[in-house]
Amino acid sequence: MAVETWRNGAAKDVGSQCGGGANVYDVNNIALLGKSFSSTKDHSKWGVSMSEKVPAVCVGDVNRQESQFKRGGGAVCIEDRTLWKTFKESVTNFDGCDVSIKTDDKKTPKANKDDKRPTKSNKV
């Protein structure tokens, strides 16, 4: 899942996480409706699955920073192919576990067969 969240301020960011079953990638840049912006200019909190097999979008209310671990919060997820496509295509750059991935042509990297770490060859 690629996630957009507030990562500014003094708190320590959680960062992209891989290898524990489900991979979570920090979104760096978004392009939507002809506008492009950095995650540093966005306070929204959402995630989009990287697999078309589960076209899920989640919207939440807690930042992915260690200081947030003590807070309650929640998220709601929906499986909707049209909404998923819109969110997935809006992600133009995200941090993989070892490498930053830049996307092109409104496509995002396809997870490999075992959904392991993305590599530079996963550019889209």
Could you list the active site residues? 43
d(CA 121, CA 101): 9
Tokens of 40: 């540093």
